[in-house]
Amino acid sequence: MAALLVRGVRDMLKRADFATVPRRQRHKKKWASTEPKFPATRLALQNFDMTYSVQFGDLWPSIRVSLLSEQKYGALVNNFAAGDHVSAELEQLKARDFVNETVFHREPEPENSQTAAPSHVSWACSPNLRCFTFTRGDVSRFPPARLGSLGLMDYYLMDAASLLPVLALGLQPGDTVLDLCAAPGGKTLALLQTGCCRNLAANDLSTSRTSRLQRVLHSYVPQDVRDKNRVRVTSWDGRKWGELEGDTYDRVLVDVPCTTDRHSLHEEENNIFQRSRKKERQMLPMLQVQLLAAGLLATKPGGHVVYSTCSLSHVQNEYVVQGAIELLDNQYSIKVHVEDLTHFRKLFMNTFSFFPSCQVGELVIPNLMANFGPMYFCKMCRMT
């Protein structure tokens, strides 16, 4: 049985056709002498074939081919820079603002409808976000962002699924917000676009990556917003945050380091599946639990946390959420409630493909018609 499985996986690997990966996403070939015998991208595929074929069953072949194909982007409009002409230009390209279309212009649900929004506010989306995507099956690309008249870039290109954790966090005007693992800064920028942050702490352990975050902020956010003590960028170990600033924030985003599944299939550079990084990879779930626990401790009782990854792995997603909740209960007697995002998922299912059977949280799975993600997110409320 085991031999059959190994042979099956070996055959699959032989058939894996990397030539279908678009040129701009292929890694640069090294000289023969330095080229690894078994590249990390291939190790990643081997690992995913073994774990995800079990985890996703019949869904895995379609997720797999989507992961190996060119991903789709979203254009997050920069509210600090743009007049309405940017939205108009994006509409001319036949892109549509999936947030505005979904959240604000939805047909009212019929009375007594089973899908009607729950009265609970857990699904309420962070406001003022505008993100354009091409419709299902349209694989057009956005032109690069441009500098606007105020000296700020007009939009930020990102995986549109990356906006979902920020939308799910449900910011309210005047919130104090912590972005625990913030660099290179796509989600930090989205948090600021809501106009809700009384102040925002954006942290990342890596100083080189916080420099990238600073560059993003300089290119997209006016100086007065960056300066007025409203945005603080730090390079601390996020695991210590509970001790540094416990019970402090209304909303916390914990977008942890993970196996970055799509990146790991396409880029040799900084690939977590390099043999030398095996230990680091194995320790990821432990680090993720510690970061989520720290994020929960930094939240005020009654405040909200969103945990997110760009991995399909249940071990890095649902198990981490369950592990951190248990840890807070056992070590600190703090109760955490996982919020039901079913309604939130229904709002966005025309744009994204969701895995239908997550135990906790929601998972966007790559699909050739809507090739976003993977993106897992789970919203929690700290009760005590």
Residues that bind ligand SAM (CB under 6 A): 162, 181-187, 203-206, 209, 237-239, 255-257
Q: Is 185 annotated to bind ligand?
A: yes
Rounded to a whole number of angstroms, the minimum distance from the CB of residue 284 to ligand SAM is 10
Q: Is 310 a catalytic residue?
A: yes
Q: Report yes or no: 41 and 265 within 8 Å, Cβ to Cβ.
A: yes
Q: Is 83 annotated to bind ligand?
A: no
Catalytic residue among 125, 197, 258, 310: 310
Spatial CA neighbour of 353 closest among 377, 378, 370: 370
Spatial CA neighbour of 264 closest among 312, 193, 199: 312
Report the residue number, 255 or 339, with the smaller CB distance to ligand SAM: 255
Strand partners, 377: 308, 362
Q: Is 49 annotated to bind ligand?
A: no
CA angle at 315 for the pair 250 and 248, rounded to the nearest 5°: 15
Report the residue number, 59 or 244, with the smaller CB distance to ligand SAM: 244
Q: Is 184 annotated to bind ligand?
A: yes
Q: Is 370 annotated to bind ligand?
A: no
Dist CA 293 CA 298 (whole Å):
9
Rounded to a whole number of angstroms, the minimum distance from the CB of residue 184 to ligand SAM is 5
Report the residue number, 43 or 202, with the smaller CB distance to ligand SAM: 202
Strand partners, 364: 354, 375
Which residues have a Cβ under 8 Å from the Cβ of 217 and sit 6 or more positions away?
185, 188, 189, 226, 231, 233
Report the residue number, 53 or 251, with the smaller CB distance to ligand SAM: 251
Report the residue number, 250 or 255, with the smaller CB distance to ligand SAM: 255
Q: Is 182 annotated to bind ligand?
A: yes
Q: Report yes or no: 247 and 303 within 8 Å, Cβ to Cβ.
A: no
Rounded to a whole number of angstroms, the minimum distance from the CB of residue 83 to ligand SAM is 26
CA angle at 251 for the pair 250 and 254, rounded to the nearest 5°: 145
Q: Is 137 annotated to bind ligand?
A: no
Residues for the chain: how many in total?
384
Please state whether beta strands 375-382 and 299-309 pair in parallel, antiparallel, or not at all (unpaired): antiparallel
Rounded to a whole number of angstroms, the minimum distance from the CB of residue 102 to ligand SAM is 21
Rounded to a whole number of angstroms, the minimum distance from the CB of residue 236 to ligand SAM is 7
Rounded to a whole number of angstroms, the minimum distance from the CB of residue 166 to ligand SAM is 9
Q: Is 154 annotated to bind ligand?
A: no
Report the residue number, 185 or 303, with the smaller CB distance to ligand SAM: 185
Annotated binding-site residues for S-adenosyl-L-methionine read: 181-187, 204, 237, 255
Q: Which residues are catalytic?
A: 310
